[in-house]
Structure 1
Amino acid sequence: MTEIVVTPSDDAIPRRFSDFATLGEALDYAAKGLKGFNFHDARGTLVRAYGYAELRDDALAHARRMVARGIGRGDRVALIAETGPEFASLFFGAVYAGAWPVPLPLPTSFGGASAYVDQLKVQLDSCDPLMLIYPADLAAMAGEAARQAGVVGISWQDFAGEAAPDAPLPAADPDDIAYLQYSSGSTRFPHGVAVTHRALLNNLAAHSHGMLVRPGDRCVSWLPWYHDMGLVGCMLSPVANQVSADYLKTEDFARRPLAWLDLISRNPGTTLSYSPTFGYDICARRVSSQMHVAERFDLSRWRVAGNGADMIRPDVMQSFVEAFGDAGFNARAFLPSYGLAEATLAVTIMPPGEGIVVEMVAESELAGGTPPAAGAAERFRAVVNCGRPVRDMAVEIRSDDGAPLPERAIGKVWCRGGSVMTGYFRDPEATAACLVDGWLDTGDMGYMSGGYLYIVGRAKDMIIVNGKNHWPQDIEWAVEQLPGFKAGDIAAFAITTPAGEEAPAVLVQCRTADPAERARLRDAIRERVRQVTGMNCVVELVPPRTLPRTSSGKLSRTKARNLYLSGQIRPYDLAA
C-alpha cells in the first residue's frame, strides 16, 4: 500500500498574496504548484492529500456538470459544508460555473433531525438555490429539507457520478458575487451576506499581509467551513496565498480537542492556526497533572495562534500559556483579531508578536454609563486589544446618532473598505439599515486607543457562545411556544457570568404568584432553550410590565440588559 504524503509547505512557484481578479484565477495559479489541502482523521492520521491541481481538475468537472444541469451565472448552489475534498471541489465548481456557492451547516448534537430540517428549509427559502448537494449520510435530513423547499436535492456522490460534458464556462468579473455566507446562529431570520470576488481577494490579501505570511508557513484548522473564519480564513485564504493546510473535522476536534495540538506538533511546517477562545479553553482544561506536555507536544514553531469569532478572554489565554508553555508555546504567538462576515472576514488584526494586550474598563462604562445600584461596588472587566485595521480598511467609533467619537469613547464600531459586502441577499431593508455611504455599521461596541480597536461587546442583540452566533429572537420565540407566554414577555441577551464566561440570560415576565409554579416555569424555560439552541442559560423570572420598551413600543434588549446588570431589574427570589 502506497504511503500517503502531505502536500509540501514550499514549492517552486513564486508566492502571490491574493493579487488575483477572481477566486477562480487564484485556484488556477495555486494549481501550478504542489501545495494543497490535507485531511486527517480523528486521531490526526492523514487520510487524503489533495493538491490544488487535483482540486482544480475536480472543480472544473463539477462546473461542467452544473452547466449541463442548466446552472449558470448568478444561480445559487447550496452545499452542506462538511470538511473534505467533496465540498471544496463543489464550492470551486460553482465558482467556475459562475454560480454562487452557499455553504450550509452540518447538524448539531442538539435539536434532533426535525430541528435541522427546519433550519435548512429556512435557509434554502432565503437563498433560493437551484440545487442542494449533500453527503450521502445526510440524505434523509437534507433531502427532506430540499423537498420541503422545492429544491433539487442530490448527494455529492451521485452528483460526481454524472457526466461532465465539455462546455464553455463563463468568465467571471471581479465585481460578480463569489458566494453567499450565512450567519450560523439565525434560523428564523437568515441573512445571506453577498461577497464579491474583489471584496474577498482584497480581504485575503489584507489579512495575509497582516499575519506576515512567510515562505514555509503551513496552516492547521478544525474550524467549520460554514463559518466565515473557517471558510474564508482557513479554506479560501490558503488557496489564494498558496499555503498548504491540514484539517481535522470539527466534530473530531469536539471529541478529541488535543488532536489539534498533536497535529500542529507532528507537522514541522505548521506555523498558522486559528481558534475562538473556547478552543483554547477546552484544550487547557484537558491537560491533567499526569500529562507530560513537553514530551507529547511541540508548539515551538506555532508563530500565529489566531483568536477571533467570539469575545477574547485573557484568563483563558493565560491558562493556555500555563498549560502548554512547557511544550514551547510562546504567549506572543497569540494574535487577536476582529471581523465579521459583512466585511468578508478581517477588520482588525493585532501585529504579529505583540500578543494579548488588555485594558481594564469599568462595568458602568460597558453598560452605557448606567451607574451601579446604590451601595454596589464598581466592577471592572479586562478588555482585549483586537489590533489595527487591516490594509484598505478604515474603522470609526460613532455615537448612536452617527457622530464620530474621540479616542477611548465607547460607541458603535463602523468600518469601510474594499472587502465590505455589497449587501444582504434579497434584503434591501436590512442592507440599508447597516450600510450608509459605504460605511458598515457592525452593531458591535468598542473604542479606539492609539490606533488599536478594543471590542467591549458583541453585536447589540447577538449572543455568541463558544464561537456560535445565536439570535435572541430565536431564544425568545422558543419560550413563547410554552403555555402562558406571549411575544414581548421575554428578553434574551448575553451576560458575563461570575466565572468570566459569556452566557445567555433570559428575562421572562411571570404572572403567577405561586413559588412552586415559578420554579417549574423556570426549569421548563431552561430546558426549552437548551432543546432549541443547545445552550444552558440563566433564567430570571421578573414581574409583569418590567421589561423596558422603546418610544415606538418595541422591546429594548439593550436597556433590559443594562437595568438587569445594574440591579435595577429585580427578579423574583425563587429560593424564598
Structure 2
Amino acid sequence: MELKLKRQTMVEVLLDLEGCTRYGARFVDRSGQSTFYTYDEVLKRAKAVAATLQAGGLAPGDRVAIVLPTSIHFLDIFLGTQLAGGIPAALYPPVRLGRLSEYFARTQRMITKIGARLLVTDSRIRKLLGPAAEGASCLEKVLDVETLRSSAPFSPARPDPESPAFLQFSSGTTVEPKAVMISHVNLLANLEMIDTFFRRFSDKEAEQGGVCWLPLYHDMGLVGCMGIGLYHPGTVTYIGPEVFVAKPKIWLQTLSRYKALISPAPDFAYGLCLTKVKDADMEGVDLSNWKIALNGAEPIDVEGMLRFCDRFARWGFRREAMTPVYGLAEAGLAVTFSDPRVPPVVTEFDRDLLSEQGRAVPGKGRLLPSVGRPMQGLRVEIRDDQDQSLPEGWVGRIVVSGPSITRGYFNDPETTRKTIRNGWLDTGDLGFIHNGDLYIAGRAKDLIIIRGRNYAPQEIEEVLAGVEGLRTGCTVAVSQMIEGQGEQLVVLAERDIRSDRPEEEIQAEIRERIRSELALSPYHVEILEPGTLPRTSSGKMRRADALRMFLAGELLPPEKMNTIKMLKEIGKSQIAWGRFWLRRKRSQG
C-alpha cells in the first residue's frame, strides 16, 4: 500500500497546530508535579523564538546546535529553528560529570562537524560548556534559550521538502561523530508509518496519549515521542531521563495517573523497574491502559522482558502490551514493529547452527524475540557479504529501503557511500527472517569469531546476567588477537558496590558460566569500578572503545566529582568562554 503524506514539511505540520487546545505537552518534575502547555501555546512560543532567530540573522539552512535538558525550552528552540528555516541538531548535555574532558572533546567535534553558527543552551549548562565551544571556529553566537522570545515579526519558512528537517547524531561508537540528515520527507514518512500503525487502536484509546522519559537528543524520544505527538496530534507527558533513572517508579506512576496508551523504552528500563521499583511504590497504580510498551534501541533480554510482564501483571500490565521493535536514526526511526495485540513472539534457535553456519533453525540454545515486520512503505532484506539477498532462515546484514531512509550523513560523503547503496541502507546489524518476522542476531562490527564460530557479544553478555557482584547491564564481551593463539575472548565487567563478594569468586563464576553455556574459555576477565565502561550518548556500551582503552591502559574509573572540583570546572569553563569571545572579537575586527 502506498504511503500518503498529509503534509510536505514539518513547518506545515507545526502551523496546523494553531488553535489546538485539546492536546499538548506536559512536563512532570521529580516530585510528580506537572505543567501543561497546549499545542497552540507550544506553537506560539516556537513562533516567538523563530521571530527572534530571524531578526538575529538566521539564514535558511543555518545549523543550530542545541544543548538542553527535557523541558518546554527544548521544544521552543527546536521547533522555533524549524519554523525559521534553520536546521536544529540536538546534542546531549553533560550528564556524566566524571567524564567531562571526553564530553567537551566530543561536543566540540559535533559542533564543528555540522558547522553550527549558533549554540543554544541555558544559563545552568552554559557554565560548563566553555571548553566545548572554545575550539569550534564555526560558532558565531551562543544564546540563552530563556531570552529568545521577542515581539519581532515572524515569517514562516518554506523549506524544500528534501532539505534536512534536523540533524540526528548517531549514537554509534566511532571517534568521529556522524550527523544523519533527516529530510522533511524522511521525517513525515516515518511519522506517517508510525501513525498508521497506531490507527489500529480506537480514537478513545488514542486520546490517552503517551509518556516519554527518553532524552530528546535521541531519535526514539525526538521522533517516537515528540514528533508523533505533534504529528498525530496527541498529548505527550515528558519526564526527564535523569528523573527516571533516579526514580523509575515515576514512569509507572505517571503512566497510571494519565492512563497513557503508549510509552517506549530501551530494554534496560524494564530491567531497572524490576530491580528498583518496590511493591509499595505501586500502591494505587493501574497499568491496564498501557497498550503499547515499545521495547527497542538495544538488544532485548528475553527473560528480563518476560519477568517484567509477569511481575507487573498484578497492576494490570498485559503481556500483549510488550512490543519489541527495531529501528535506527538512518531510517527516520521505525523499521519494524511487532503486533501489540498479541504477546511477544519468542523463539529458541539452535546455537551451534547460528554460530557455525549462520542458519536460524529452532532448537536448543539461544532465545531471541521477534521484532516484527516492516512498517508500511519500507522494505527489509537480509544480504550476504556480496550484497546478495538471502532466503528466510539465513543470517546476514539487514538492509532497508523506503521513503524515510536518509540520503546520508552531513559533510561525510565517504561514510554515506559505504552505508547507502542504490537506495538501500546497510544498517550494520545482523539478522534473519523467521516465519516472516525479523530477528536481530547482533552487530556486524562487534561480532566475535573464535575457532571459526561467530558469537554476538550480547549472546555472551546474556549468559552473565544475574552474576552476584556485577552491575546489571554493565558487562561487555570483546575479542583480542593473541599471537600464536588467534582471537580470544575478553570480558570486562563493572562490579556492584553493594556487594562484598570477593573479585576472585566473581571471575570464577563468569568463567564457569561461559564454559558451561558456550563451551568457551575467556582469555581474560577484568572486574572494573562502576562507571568505568565507556557509553554512547544513549547509554549503550561502546565495546570497541572499551577494548582499545583497556589495551592502552586507559580504561579508568570516572573522576569523582565534588563541590570543589565542580567549581574548578566552572572556573575553567569561564576562562574558555573568555578565549572564545576574544577570538570572535578578533575575527570580526
The two structures have a TM-score, normalised by structure 2, of 0.75
Give the corresponding residue for 1:282.
272
User: What is residue 218 of structure 2 aligned with on the other side?
Assistant: 227
Match in the other structure for 1:338: 326
Question: Which of 283, 306, 323 lines up with 2:294 in the alignment?
Answer: 306
Q: Does 1:291 align with 2:275?
A: no
| 1:403 is the counterpart of 2:391 | no
- 1:184-223 CA-to-partner distances (Å, cap 9, x unmatched) read 3446221100011111111011012113354213110100
Q: What CA distance in whole angstroms lies between the structure 2 residues aligned with 1:63 and 1:298?
A: 41
Q: 1:154-193, aligned counterparts within 5 Å?
A: 154-157=142-145, 159-160=147-148, 163-166=150-153, 168-186=155-173, 188-193=175-180
Query: 3-state DSSP class of the match of 1:205?
Result: helix
Match of 1:417 among 367, 390, 402: 402
Residues 54-203 of structure 1 aligned to structure 2 (within 5 Å): 54-109=41-96, 111-150=98-137, 151-157=139-145, 159-160=147-148, 163-166=150-153, 168-186=155-173, 188-203=175-190
Q: CA offset at residue 334 of structure 1?
A: 1.1
> 2:198 aligned with 1:211, yes or no?
yes
Match for residue 433 of structure 1?
A: 418
The code of the aligned residue for 2:262 comes to: L
C-alpha distance 300-24 of structure 1, shift in aligned 2 (>3 A): same
Contact 1:18–1:26 at 8 Å: present in 2 too?
A: no
Distance of 2:481 and 2:378 partners within structure 1: 43
Find out whether 1:246 has 2:237 as its counterpart: yes
2: CA distance, partners of 1:347 / 1:409: 19
Comparing 252-261 with 20-29, which one deviates more in the overlay? 20-29
Instruction: Determine if the alignment matches structure 1 residue 261 to structure 2 residue 252.
Output: yes
Give 1:26 deviation, angstroms: 1.1
Whether the 8 Å CA contact 2:84–2:155 is kept in 1: the answer is no
Cα distance change of structure 1 residues 155 and 112 upon mapping to structure 2, 3 Å threshold: farther
- Residues 410-443 of structure 1: per-residue CA shift (max 9 Å, x gap): 1111111000001011111111111111111111
Helix, strand or coil: the match of 2:95?
coil
Q: What is the rounded CA distance, in whole Å, between the counterparts of 1:528 and 1:280 in structure 2?
A: 21
**Contact preservation (8 Å) 2:301, 2:462:** no
Q: 1:8 is matched with which residue?
A: none
Q: Structure 2: give runs of 5+ residues left out of the alignment.
A: 449-455, 466-472, 484-502, 504-522, 552-589
2:30 and 2:243 in contact (8 A); partners too: yes
Give runs of aligned pairs for residues 433-472 of structure 1, distance below 5 A.
433-457=418-442, 459-461=443-445
SS of 1:122's equivalent in the other structure is: helix
Q: Which amino acid aligns with 1:456?
A: A
**Identity within the alignment, %:** 32
| Matched letter for residue 78 of structure 2 | F
Give aligned pairs, total: 481
CA contact (8 A) 2:348 2:364 kept: no
Contact 1:388–1:451 (8 Å) recurs in 2: yes
| Residue equivalent to 1:40 | 28
Other-structure match for 2:497: none
Distance 1:407 1:275, change over 3 A: same
Q: How well do the aligned residues superpose, as a CA RMSD in angstroms?
A: 3.1
Q: Is the 8 A contact 1:336 1:355 kept in 2?
A: no
Q: TM-score normalized by structure 1? A: 0.77
Q: Which of 248, 252, 261 is 1:271 aligned to?
A: 261
* Cα deviation 1:319-342 (Å, max 9, x = unaligned): 112221110110001111110000
Higher mean C-alpha displacement, 169-178 vs 118-127 = 169-178
- The offset of 1:306, in angstroms, is 0.8
- 1:392, CA displacement in angstroms? 0.4
- Alpha-carbon distance between aligned partners in 2 of 1:461 and 1:536, rounded to the nearest angstrom: 11
Task: Report how far residue 154 of structure 1 moved.
Answer: 2.8
Following TM superposition, by how much is the alpha carbon of 1:38 offset from its aligned partner in structure 2, in angstroms?
0.3
> What residue number does 1:468 align with?
none
Query: Structure 1 residues 273-282 or 142-151, which shifts more?
Result: 142-151
Deviations 1:339-398 (A, max 9, x none): 000001001111221221011123334435389xxxxxx961111110110010011111
In structure 1, C-alpha distance between the alignment counterparts of 2:54 and 2:118, rounded to whole Å: 12
Checking the alignment, whether the CA contact within 8 Å between 2:358 and 2:395 is kept in structure 1 is no
Query: Secondary structure at the residue paired with 2:69?
Result: coil
CA distance in 1, matches of 2:526, 2:396: 37
Distance 2:68 2:524 in 1: 36
Match of 1:394 in 2: 379
1:80-106 Cα offsets, whole Å, 9 max, x none, are 141111111100111111111000002
